[in-house]
């Protein structure tokens, strides 16, 4: 059976006011696929994740994005999330005075409400949280702490992975999810992500090196330069890129 | 306003101590403060106190149909109720506690050493309170109490609830107290003065919810004396009333006396909330900390005036103050006047104040997890205000204040 197209980006141009960063960008992701966008630091890869999640301050000047057949650009950030889009952030925000427990409960119930489901009772919620947090090596003490306040890079990414596990998105975007992680943390996050692969859920991994790809095997690797994809290949492209370095690779590709 | 005082007849003038205090109050009261008076330059009290608020005598509503007795607490406490400016005098024996009406304590002279321990000339509304002195509680605590004390005030239209409470903690005593102020949506005035005396090694946790009706005026002044190794912890949530002014003055009189004065205030529509603190470090090794958080929406107005005074011989003292305000609308405003007055050289003091809108990154983070704008703003403002209550040890009282946000 053919899998459906989940995310379809057509001729997208976007950026911050007065500066176009993404130019004529095209990408289609089907259910179950793992796509990787690789490119040098500062090439504007993160702009793509910001535009997809609807972060204020980014402007779309051209093109369309459809997600599950709906016009993504017309949706609020919260509706995009509830519709099934999830971003593992490069720098998750710390929020004083809000415990992870409280935050997760609001997030989970927001999605349930959006889907017309009843809110979880306190015991149901605790059970769900416990089951998922054990898998990621997250202690009860960490859950009681304020959101990302005083968390190490690895702890923050584990908490992001927990949120993803709870919210069960259709498409998860990992924006430099491996930055600032040591090898152990990287393995935990990668295994958390792999656990969620069910043949339907799709992943878009945005990264500038291929460390994470040793643990999560991609279906497609795209090289991002000058605001769009200049070459697409399979997992071997990532290795080629790593061996040659971006500068030479991009020079060759553009010849 | 002076004329207005003339028309008020008070009972119990036959109690000499009461009558003489009233005379002092009348002499000291020169009218309501105006914006020209420095301590009131941001808060226009005169414009909101109307003769109508003095039109009804304090009166209780008759017990059968009175809902003000019904507890609003979800934990056990020794409750005392004021209704329409009147104290319900139903006292039962409580181990470690001596309690009576103010009138009773003045007629037996029990209250004499503890009343009027500040310069009423400097506090016009406390002078007014003294001129109209009638109702209040005298509470003396000699041992740690089994349950918190809860003082619950329910005021109504046209009444000035003029209340003076004296709270005395004897050597080594420990107590927890919560005060709750509520009332009708029609105009009334609450003008309360609390005189608190904390003896050597004693400690008081004093929590307060100011949730007066939307057209009410709430004026509160607490004068707190703390002796050696005594501790005063005050946590206030001020959210009700058309205009409120909650003024707390703490005198750390002897070595190792400590005070915490934390406040969360949140106002909207046309409300004004004035938080005024004055912590005087009068001896060495004294310590104070203030965490103040304010949220203003719509056309609301916040005022924070906080003073830390350190006397010349109060070496090795620590005094900290931090005020943060959130302005959620372009018409909301806050006036801030922090003051450090330091006459000793070996001290650790700090103060800081900020104001701004909610953090856009935090807001987006919540929204990117599916939480809608309205809910996300509520989560963030509640968390912001809750910082003032983080250190409350009594979990019941802490939860009560947090839930009242």
What is the least distance, in Å, from the CA of A234 to any CA of chain B? 30
CA-based torsion, A181, A183, A184, A186: positive or negative: positive
Establish if A201 belongs to a structural domain.
yes
Position B2 pLDDT exceeds 60: no
pLDDT in tens, A35-72: 999 988 878 888 999 999 999 999 999 999 999 999 99
**HEC readout, A14-51:** EEECCEEEEEEEEEEEECCCEEEEECCCCCCHHHHHHH
Q: Which residues of A touch B382 (CB under 8 A)?
A: 97
Establish if A139 belongs to a structural domain.
yes
B363, B366, B369: which to substitute to probe chain A, counting the most A Cβ within 10 Å? B369
Residues in A lying within 8 Å of B, measured between beta carbons: 53-56, 76-78, 80-82, 87, 89, 92-93, 95-98, 102-103, 106-107, 110-111, 114, 147, 163, 167
What is d(CA B98, CA B139) in angstroms, rounded to the nearest whole number? 6
ipTM of the modeled complex: 0.94
Instruction: Name A97's Cβ contacts closer than 8 Å, sequence gap at least 6.
Output: A146, B382, B383, B384, B386, B387, B390
Q: Give the SS3 label for residue B338.
A: strand
Domain residue limits at A223: 33-49+76-254
- What pLDDT is recorded for position B64? 52
Establish if A70 belongs to a structural domain.
no
Q: Is there a contact between B127 and B221 (Cβ–Cβ < 8 Å)?
A: no
Q: Of the candidates B361, B405, B360, B353, which has an alpha carbon nearest to the alpha carbon of residue B384?
A: B405
B247 or A89, greater pLDDT: B247
Position B66 pLDDT exceeds 70: no
- What pLDDT is recorded for position A178? 74
Would you call B373 and A76 a contact, using CB atoms and an 8 Å cutoff?
Answer: yes
Q: What's chain A's average pLDDT? A: 91
Residue A247: CATH number of its domain:
3.40.50.300
Establish if A141 belongs to a structural domain.
yes
Share of chain B above pLDDT 90, in %: 89
* pTM score above 0.80: yes
Q: Of the candidates B237, B226, B162, B234, which has an alpha carbon nearest to the alpha carbon of residue B199?
A: B226
Establish if A203 belongs to a structural domain.
yes
Q: Quick one: pLDDT band at residue B224, thresholds 50, 70, 90?
A: very high
Q: Which residue of B has its CA nearest to A87?
A: B368
Number of A–B residue contacts, CB under 8 Å:
75
Position A2 pLDDT exceeds 80: no
Q: How many CB atoms lie within 10 A of CB B122?
A: 11
Establish if A64 belongs to a structural domain.
no
Decide if B395 touches A, using CB distance below 8 A. Answer: no
Establish if A20 belongs to a structural domain.
no
- What pLDDT is recorded for position B28? 95
Q: How many CB atoms lie within 10 A of CB A4?
A: 11
- What pLDDT is recorded for position A242? 85
Position B60 pLDDT exceeds 90: no
Q: Tell me which residue in A78, A98, A111 faces B367 most closely, judged by beta carbons.
A: A78
Q: Quick one: pLDDT band at residue B4, thresholds 50, 70, 90?
A: low
Domain assignments of chain B as residue spans, ordered by start: 2-358+395-403
Count of the separate structural domains present in chain A? 1
Q: Quick one: pLDDT band at residue B378, thresholds 50, 70, 90?
A: very high
Decide if B398 touches A, using CB distance below 8 A. Answer: no
Establish if A14 belongs to a structural domain.
no
């Amino acid at each position: 059976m053919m899998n459906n197209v989940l995310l379809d980006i057509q001729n997208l141009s976007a950026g911050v006011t007065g500066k176009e960063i993404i130019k004529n960008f095209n990408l289609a992701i089907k259910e179950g696929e793992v796509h990787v966008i690789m490119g040098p630091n500062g090439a504007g890869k993160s702009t793509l994740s910001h535009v997809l999640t609807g972060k204020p301050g980014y402007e779309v000047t051209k093109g369309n994005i459809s997600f599950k057949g709906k016009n993504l650009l017309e949706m609020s950030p919260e509706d995009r999330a509830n519709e099934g889009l999830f971003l593992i952030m490069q720098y998750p925000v710390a929020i004083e005075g809000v415990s992870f427990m409280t935050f997760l409960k609001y997030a989970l119930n927001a999605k349930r409400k959006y889907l017309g489901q009843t809110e979880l009772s306190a015991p149901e919620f605790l059970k769900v949280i416990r089951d998922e947090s054990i898998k990621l090596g997250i202690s009860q003490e960490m859950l009681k702490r304020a959101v990302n306040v005083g968390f190490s890079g690895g702890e923050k990414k584990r908490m992001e992975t927990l949120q993803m596990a709870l919210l069960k998105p259709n498409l998860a975007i990992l924006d430099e999810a491996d930055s600032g992680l040591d090898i152990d943390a990287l393995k935990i996050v990668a295994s958390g992500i792999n656990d969620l692969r069910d043949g339907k859920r799709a992943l878009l991994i945005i990264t500038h090196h291929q460390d994470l790809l040793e643990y999560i095997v991609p279906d497609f690797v795209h090289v991002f330069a000058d605001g769009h994809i200049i070459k697409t290949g399979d997992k071997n492209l990532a290795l080629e890129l790593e061996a040659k370095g971006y500068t030479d690779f991009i020079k060759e590709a553009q010849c | 306003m002076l004329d207005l005082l003339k028309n008020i007849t008070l009972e119990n003038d036959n109690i000499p101590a009461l009558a003489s205090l009233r005379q002092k109050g009348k002499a000291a009261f020169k009218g309501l403060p105006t914006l020209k008076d420095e301590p009131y330059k941001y808060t226009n009290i005169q414009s909101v106190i109307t003769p109508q608020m003095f039109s009804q005598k304090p009166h209780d509503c008759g017990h059968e149909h009175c809902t003000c007795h019904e507890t609003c607490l979800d934990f056990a406490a020794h409750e005392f109720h004021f209704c329409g400016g009147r104290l319900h005098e139903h006292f039962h024996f409580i181990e470690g506690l001596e309690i009576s009406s103010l009138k009773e304590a003045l007629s037996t002279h029990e209250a004499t050493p503890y009343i009027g321990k500040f310069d009423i000339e400097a506090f016009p509304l406390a002078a007014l309170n003294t001129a109209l002195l009638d109702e209040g509680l005298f509470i003396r605590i000699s041992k740690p109490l089994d349950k918190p004390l809860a003082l619950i005030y329910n005021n109504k239209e046209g009444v000035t609830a003029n209340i003076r409470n004296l709270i005395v903690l004897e050597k080594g005593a420990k107590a927890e107290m919560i005060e709750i102020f509520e009332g009708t949506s029609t105009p009334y005035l609450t003008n309360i003065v609390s005189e608190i005396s904390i003896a050597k090694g004693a400690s008081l946790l004093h929590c307060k919810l100011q949730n007066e009706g939307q057209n009410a005026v709430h004026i509160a002044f607490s004068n707190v004396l703390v002796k050696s190794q005594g501790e005063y912890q005050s946590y206030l949530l001020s959210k009700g009333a058309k205009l409120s002014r909650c003024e707390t003055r703490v005198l750390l009189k002897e070595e190792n006396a400590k005070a915490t004065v934390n406040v969360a205030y949140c106002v909207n529509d046309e409300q004004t909330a004035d938080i005024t603190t004055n912590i005087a470090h009068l001896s060495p090794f004294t310590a104070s900390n203030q965490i103040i958080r304010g949220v203003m929406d719509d056309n609301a107005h916040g005022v924070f005036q906080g003073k830390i005074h350190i006397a010349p011989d109060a070496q090795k003292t620590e005094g900290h103050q931090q005020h943060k305000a959130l302005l959620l609308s372009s018409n909301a405003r806050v006036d801030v006047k922090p003051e450090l007055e330091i006459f000793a050289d070996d001290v650790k003091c700090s103060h800081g104040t900020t104001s701004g809108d909610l953090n856009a990154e935090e807001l987006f983070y919540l929204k990117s997890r599916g939480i809608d704008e309205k809910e996300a703003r509520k989560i963030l403002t509640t968390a912001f205000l809750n910082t003032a209550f983080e250190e409350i040890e009594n979990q019941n009282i802490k939860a009560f204040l947090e839930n009242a946000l």
